[in-house]
Amino acid sequence: MRHAVSVPCFGTGLDAALVADWAASAEAAGWDGFFLWDHLFAFAPGPVDVVDPWIALTAAACATRRIRLGTMVTPLPRRRPIVVARQTVTLDRLSQGRLVLGVGIGGGPFEWDYCGEQTEAVIRGEMLDEHLELLERLWTGEPVHHQGRHYRTAGPDWSAVCYPPPLQQPRIPIWVGGTWPGTRPFRRAARWDGVAPMRLDGGWEVADTAAVAARMASLRAASSPGTDTPYDIAVPGETQGDDPGRIERHAEHRDAGATWWVEAVHPWRYGWQEGRPWPLTAMRERIEAGP
């Protein structure tokens, strides 16, 4: 099992240079992955610094050599497929093939209802599915003529060519995020390269990891019988860097089927409340403590 950290793309005092510094610290501390949230606004009132995840990850790519980088997760229905194709391929090539694209339909009113975006979750799911299928075609570098329900890359005698293709083949790994124990996100995830589950009603347990692993094995067997391609299950969690018991906890999730442990390094785990300084030092210390 590999280990990653996941950090918000917002916080008082956070900028792209700090994200790059954290990524470099994570690499030096022995983490295998560094993932950044993808939000337009902070989960806190008042003026809070927010960075664009793709620019910040570009800075992180320039500051590192080994660690995998990506979003956890990007709500694709509010992004245009050709723009995403350009951004992901540019970052994948810059990082020498270290990009992971985490995706989801997004949630909450702030980045959807209040910004004039699609409000219906079912339609956003349709958009996500069409977006992913189109994105995979655009990544080939070949002409793509597409006229779908939600997206179009077609004109009179014209098709979109997004060249060059990414370094990673057959594609940049796609991990689909979803709230467990839902249904649709996991059916979607079975068609791609990994799943990043979460719970909204409590902490993530070993039993959850085992249940997700069983569900994904069943779904993948039904959709692609006879295939045994590698598949990632990236489970969330929080551990203390000075707790020797974390090694055993990681091992339990590994034995239950997890291939990645994603350490959630966010301010609320340190008791942050409105009006208090952002706990950047505590967040850095957890990253530097390593997996």
- Helices 206-223 and 245-256, interaxial angle, to 10°? 30
Is 120 among the domain residues? Answer: yes
Residues in the chain predicted with pLDDT less than 70, given as ranges, are 225-227
Q: Residue 226 has what pLDDT?
A: 60
| CB distance 211 to 181 below 8 Å | yes
**Rounded Cα gap, residues 272 and 180, in angstroms:** 26
Is 230 among the domain residues? Answer: no
Classify 201 as helix, strand or coil.
coil
Is 63 among the domain residues? Answer: no
Tokens of 135: 């994105």
Is 96 among the domain residues? Answer: yes
Is 134 among the domain residues? Answer: yes
Is 26 among the domain residues? Answer: no
Is 61 among the domain residues? Answer: no
Burial class (CB in 10 A: 0-12, 13-18, 19+), 69: buried
Domains held by the chain: number: 1
Query: Could you tell me the residue range of the domain that residue 116 belongs to?
Result: 75-172
Burial class (CB in 10 A: 0-12, 13-18, 19+), 90: middle
Q: Residue 276 has what pLDDT?
A: 87
Q: Which strand (E) or helix (H) includes residue 236?
A: strand 232-237
Is 158 among the domain residues? Answer: yes
Q: Residue 46 has what pLDDT?
A: 80
**Rounded Cα gap, residues 208 and 190, in angstroms:** 17
Q: Residue 20 has what pLDDT?
A: 98
Q: Residue 225 has what pLDDT?
A: 66
Tokens of 245: 């018991």
